Amino acid sequence: MRQLCVIVSLWLLVLLSLAQSQDQDRLAGVTRGRRQRTGHGRPREGHHSQALTRTGSLPLNHGEEGGASIFIESYRSVRDPQTNYNVIPGKQGQCVYQGITMFNKAVWSPKPCVTCLCTGGEVVCDEVSCPTMHCHFPFIPTGECCPVCMDAAPDLPDFSGDSPVPNDPSDPNPDPVGPHTQAEIDVILKREQEEHRAEEERLLKKDAERKRRRKKLKKEEAEKQRRLEEERRKEEDELRATLAKEEERRQAEEERRLEEEDRRLREEAEAAAKEKERQVEEERIRHKLNLMEKLRALEEEEEEEEVWLRGDVFQMPPKVAEESIQPIPAPPEEHHGDVEEEEEGQEEEIEMISPRAGLPPGCDISDVIVTCENAKLTSFPPLSIPELKSLSLEGNTITSIPVGAFNGIPNLEWINLGKNKLTSAGIAPKVFQSLKHLSRLYLDGNLLQQVPSDLPSTLQELKINENKLREIEQNSFQDLSHLLTLEMEDNVLSEGNVSPLAFAPLTQLSYLRMGRNHFRTIPQGLPPSLLELYLENNLIEEISDSVFNQTTNLNLISLGHNRLDESRIAPLAWINHKNLESIDLSHNRMYLVPSYLPRSLVHLVLVGNQIERIPGYVFAHMEPGIEYLYLSYNKLDGEGVEPESFFGAFGSMIELCLDHNQLTTVPIGINEMKSLHFLRLNSNNIRNFAEDAICDPLNEDDSHIVALRLENNYIDPRKVSPTAFSCVRSYSSVVLKPQKTK
């Protein structure tokens, strides 16, 4: 009975202590919650280290400087809780958690057993996993999250401040239920704080290391991308510089030859001028015609690299005006009187047309043609020759055309005012309207900013190249319904300053040149009658579906030296055009031979691109089939030509140029081209080729290849089979030397 009373007393004392401890913990929790809400509190200790329930003092702040201290009863220690971290991303150094914005380094506890930290825009949360308790009396103290054991003992321990700390590792004889002293509690709290700070530093270091690695990876990727971009840009610049130098060299050579030829012919003309007057006039016209023919021949003739392009149609045609000049008819065979009388009669006839004294110095007249080229004229010459048909004032410094300038020469059919100093303001209004028979007007190489107004409706050819045209208005070509040829190259035109309605009056226009301008797209409103369109040396980047919907009669389109790539050509741009036979896409930005080419295509020029592959069946839809394909100066290699690349062209191909590429073998399918006449494979990386690579030994038809070029490869001529060129008409037409050294 006595023992039972002692046990009951002990239980009552334990329950009284627990009630007092819970009240004190509630007050400490209130104080701690106030500190956390005001941002001056710190997280509960013990969640990141040893989960020892501790006895400590927490200030209960009631707004006064000094606060009362609440002492929490100590409990038995538990095992280390297991933690689980979750990361919630934030923005700009701050964190947003459940709709609340937390500043950097802020710490809070959203729920028991969870402590969160805002660091670098991310929320790092530490969640405590409580261990399983194996005791008779587990309970959760106020303000804590994990239960502790409060086992009953036969003898109630002393709860004074001098009792030893239970489970103190430093105590050699630990008391399983003995209380901690205040010093031991402070040591434990300090150790927990240090471990908590160490854990926070570890988390911050881990986060910083992760960010550093991510930044390093991004930096390495950006550096790699920059190097690749620099290499690609360097290659483009080198190719562009090489092509520019080659073009300048060719132009300089052409100009030099033309100057020498012109000088020689002028010397011959001056020598012939010492003869009689009639012979002088006839010889000068004859020599001038010879000069025109030779200039035309030089324009059509190409350098050795282009001699093989027999089917190239993208050449500047000879000037119509030069062809229109005809020699003076020879005198009749029957003569009356001696030669001197005949010469005198002819001189009198010329004087009847126009006395030479009426011409300015440096001008010549022959029949109905007056030539004042490079005569140093500064103003329009006053002429009164009603019978005059042609007038050339090229190469002077004429700045204006006054009112009535053509009153004395109303029957002019051709006027050449090229290479002067004419301005739009210097041309009098309606000055050309009196010329009722004018069919050709050349204004190249002046300073015009607008198309001259009120041009005669009889005009068939108008050239305003190399001026400063800045605008083409809706009525610029009003009443020019008979115009056939229009040239406006090398001006300042673009799609922004050319009215879509400007070409509407040109119902018979068939030939249009607008190269060397600033167009980024194909001009709108092109006339349906157009047959040939030249837009080379512009900034064109795209060809839309509808741009050629009205120009269904087009036969030739020249778009060389632009910025086109195969992905910017719409599939329906020209595939259904039935008359479009020739397309020039040289010196653009092609990486593949473009698909959806016109079905009627015969000539295709893709020289000077970056083509790496000829897709299979790209020519298969063409009827009757492509005949002239120029792929020189590209990047075709051994894998760029597929077995089906030339499918559909085996029976039609006449000229094939694959020179200056990176081919390592002869492309498959060439030996099946039965109509092939000219083949260029020079300047590649070909080392050897099979016996049937070019000629099919089983084909008994006549030899069809006229010329074959294989020089500047790595071919050993001694290892070439004698039957490898059986389809070539003459072995002298096969060029094998020189070859590159290994």
What's the rounded mean pLDDT across residues 548-577? Answer: 93
What pLDDT was estimated at residue 309? 52
pLDDT at 185: 83
| Residue 542: burial class (beta carbons within 10 Å; 0-12, 13-18, 19+) | middle
Question: Two tokens at 351?
Answer: 């004087």
Q: What angle do CA 475, 480, 484 make, to 5 degrees?
A: 125
Rounded mean pLDDT, 207-230? 91
What was the pLDDT predicted at 138?
75
Average pLDDT rounded to a whole number, residues 488-507: 94
- The SS3 call for residue 331 is coil
Amino acid at 365: I
d(CA 119, CA 463): 73
Of the candidate ranges 303-317, 365-379, 455-469, 564-578, the one whose mean pLDDT is the lowest: 303-317
247-251, 322-326, 478-482: least confident range: 322-326
8-state DSSP, 592:
B
pLDDT value of residue 532: 96
Token duo for residue 212: 């550093």
Out of 338-352, 355-369, 444-458, which region has the weakest mean confidence (pLDDT)?
Answer: 338-352
143 vs 612, residue with greater confidence: 612
The span from the CA of 731 to the CA of 627, in Å, is: 24
Q: Is the pLDDT of residue 161 over 80?
A: no
If one counts every other C-beta atom within 10 angstroms of the C-beta of residue 281, the result is 20
The confidence score (pLDDT) of residue 720 equals 86
pLDDT score of 718: 87
Q: How confident is the model at residue 12 (pLDDT cuts 50, 70, 90)?
A: confident
How is residue 277 written in tokens?
């007057």
Residue carrying the six token digits 């204004």: 443
Mean pLDDT value across residues 561-569: 94
- As a whole number, the mean pLDDT across the chain is 78
Q: Which two tokens stand for residue 727?
A: 């389809």
Q: What is the pLDDT of residues 419-475, one digit of tens each?
A: 999 999 999 998 998 899 999 999 999 999 999 988 999 999 999 999 999 999 999
Tokens 């941002």 found at? 39
Helix axis angle, 182-272 to 277-300, nearest 10°: 150
Strand partners, 605: 584, 630
C-alpha–C-alpha distance, residues 544 and 549, integer Å: 10
The more confidently predicted of residues 48 and 609 is: 609
| Closest C-alpha among 93, 96, 95, 85 to residue 202 | 85
Quick check: helix, strand or coil at residue 687? coil
Residue 231 burial (10 A CB sphere; 0-12, 13-18, 19+): exposed
Closest CA to 615 of 642, 639, 597, 589: 642
Instruction: Round to whole Å and give the CA distance between 720 and 265.
Output: 50
Write out pLDDT tens, residues 83-121.
444 445 544 578 888 778 888 888 888 877 788 888 878
Q: What percent of the chain has pLDDT over 90?
A: 43
- For the chain, how many residues are written? 742
Q: What is the DSSP string of 8-42?
A: HHHHHHHHHHHHHHHHHHHHHHHHHHHHHHTT---
Selection from 17, 53, 58, 54 nearest residue 159 by Cα: 17
Supply angle C-alpha 658, 661, 663, rounded to 5: 85
Residue 180, pLDDT score = 66
In terms of pLDDT, which residue wins out, 180 or 508? 508
Does residue 645 have a pLDDT over 60?
yes
* CB 492 within 8 Å of CB 521: no
Structure tokens at 644: 């089906």
pLDDT at position 111 = 77
Instruction: Specify the pTM.
Output: 0.57
Structural domains in the chain? 306-328+357-468 (3.80.10.10)
Whether residue 566 is predicted with pLDDT greater than 80 in this model: the reply is: yes
In single-letter form, the type of residue at position 360 comes to: P
CB-based contacts of 300-306 (< 8 A; 24+ apart in sequence): 303/250, 303/253
The predicted pLDDT at position 281 comes to 60
Query: Is the confidence at residue 541, as pLDDT, over 70?
Result: yes
Phi, psi of 38 (to 5 degrees): -85, -5
Angle at 496 between CA 490 and CA 499, to 5 degrees: 90
Average pLDDT rounded to a whole number, residues 382-403: 92
**Per-residue pLDDT tens for 31-50?**
444 344 334 334 443 433 33
Q: For position 113, what pLDDT does the model report?
A: 79
Task: Show the tokens assigned to 630.
Answer: 């120029």
549 has pLDDT over 50: yes
Instruction: Give the pLDDT band (50/70/90) at residue 143.
Output: low
pLDDT one-digit tens code per residue, 177-194: 456 688 888 888 888 888
Q: Which residue has the higher pLDDT, 125 or 298?
A: 125
Plot region of 211 (φ>0 → left; ψ -120 to 50 → alpha; else → beta): alpha
**Tens digit of each residue's pLDDT (9 = 90 or more) over 257-315:** 888 888 888 777 777 766 666 665 666 566 666 666 655 555 554 444 444 455 667 65
The two three-digit tokens of residue 335, written as one number: 């003569």
Give the Å distances, CA to CA, from 264 to 207, 293, 294, 300.
84, 15, 12, 21
Between the alpha carbon of residue 724 and those of residues 24, 653, 679, 690, the distances in Å are 107, 20, 14, 8
pLDDT surpasses 60 at 59? no
Tokens of 51: 């989960």
pLDDT in tens, 658-712: 999 999 999 998 989 989 999 999 999 998 888 888 988 777 777 789 999 999 9
Residue 34 is predicted with a pLDDT of 39
Nearest by Cα to 570 from 603, 592, 548: 548
How confident is the model over 65-86, as pLDDT tens digits?
Answer: 333 333 333 333 344 444 444 4
Q: What is the pLDDT of residue 120?
A: 79
pLDDT of residue 351 exceeding 80, the answer is no
Q: Which range scores top for mean pLDDT: 75-84, 102-111, 134-143, 200-209?
A: 200-209
Other C-beta atoms closer than 10 Å to the C-beta of 660 total: 21
Residues 6+ apart with CB under 8 A from 705: 676, 677, 678, 679, 694, 695, 725, 727, 728, 729, 733
Give how far the C-alpha of residue 248 lies from the chain's centroid of Cα atoms, to the nearest Å: 25
Q: How far is CA 531 from CA 67, 82, 104, 472, 511, in A?
A: 100, 84, 72, 21, 6
Do 444 and 469 contact (CB within 8 A), yes or no?
Answer: no
3-state SS class at 115: strand
What is residue 324's DSSP assignment?
A: H
Termini Cα distance of the chain: 116
| One-letter amino acid of 705 | I
What's the CA gap between 667 and 694, in Å, rounded? 9
At residue 181, the pLDDT reads 80
pLDDT in the model for residue 200 = 87
Per-residue confidence (pLDDT) for residue 260, from 0 to 100: 86
Mean pLDDT of 152-180: 48
What is the DSSP secondary-structure string of 343-359? HHHHHHHHHHH--GGGS
Lookup result for tokens 């930005």: 589
Q: Report the 10 Å Cβ neighbour count for 377.
A: 19
